[in-house]
Amino acid sequence: MTYDIIIDGKSYRLDLSRAEGRWSCRLDGREVEVDAVLARPDVLSLRIGNQAYEVKCERVAGDMHLWVGSARFAADVRDPRSLRGRIRALDDHGPKKLSAPMPGKIVRVLVRPGDEVEAGAGVVVVEAMKMQNEIKSPKKGTIQKILVAEGAAVNAGDVLAIVE
């Protein structure tokens, strides 16, 4: 498998293959000696050369974060051969989904379909654990659709609105 893995704005090309329980790995073209054991779901015991690491995988609403010790890295894993990977590698044209970053309750909808919004403008207010959070538009555009009503409960990752 070949992946483009983006961490902190930087893209790394990773070639991985597995045969008879052994991994072979090239990172940006450089051979890396890797030995991996899945200790339990989402917990990897990793040896790189003779260096040992325990890496944990945090998955919330489609986001993937890797924890190396208590250092936390947001990772975006893309398959360079897939259409989706190539489209995502392009830029922000087209409709953008606005999704809930956490479970909560919709306390206010601040816009109506057809409204023009600036990037960073508040669209929906979600409340969780006594705190209100304004979910902001990711881009300048027109509100195409509002998918939630005031008072509704939402889960992390639920689409709240679409900005065209």
- Work out whether 72 is an interface residue with other proteins (CB under 8 A): yes
- Work out whether 61 is an interface residue with other proteins (CB under 8 A): yes
Q: Which residue has the tokens 């909808």?
A: 109
Q: Contact letters (x/-) for other proteins, 81-100, by CB under 8 A?
A: --------------------
- Work out whether 63 is an interface residue with other proteins (CB under 8 A): yes
Smaller CB distance to other proteins: residue 54 or 116? Answer: 54
- Work out whether 161 is an interface residue with other proteins (CB under 8 A): no
- Work out whether 119 is an interface residue with other proteins (CB under 8 A): no
- Work out whether 70 is an interface residue with other proteins (CB under 8 A): yes
Neighbours of 135 (CB within 10 A): 21
DSSP 55: E
Of 122, 113, 77, 75, give the one whose Cα is nearest residue 95.
113
- Residue 118 C-beta: closest distance to other proteins, Å: 19
Q: Which residues contact 49 (CB under 8 A, 6 or more apart)?
A: 32, 33
**Contact status, residue 42 vs residue 57, Cβ threshold 8 Å:** yes
Among residues 24, 77, 81, 94, the one that binds other proteins under rule CB under 8 A: 77
Give the three-class secondary structure for 152.
Answer: coil
Q: Distance (Å, rounded) from C-alpha 95 to C-alpha 85?
A: 17
DSSP 81: T
Q: Distance (Å, rounded) from C-alpha 89 to C-alpha 4?
A: 10
Give the ranges where the chain is alpha helix by DSSP (H). 83-89
- Residue 114 C-beta: closest distance to other proteins, Å: 27
Smaller CB distance to other proteins: residue 74 or 114? Answer: 74
Residues at the site binding other proteins, with contacts judged by CB under 8 A: 1, 3, 5, 7-8, 10, 12, 14, 16, 18, 23, 25, 27, 32, 34, 36, 38, 40-44, 46, 48, 53, 55-61, 63-64, 66-75, 77, 101-105, 128-131, 133, 153-157
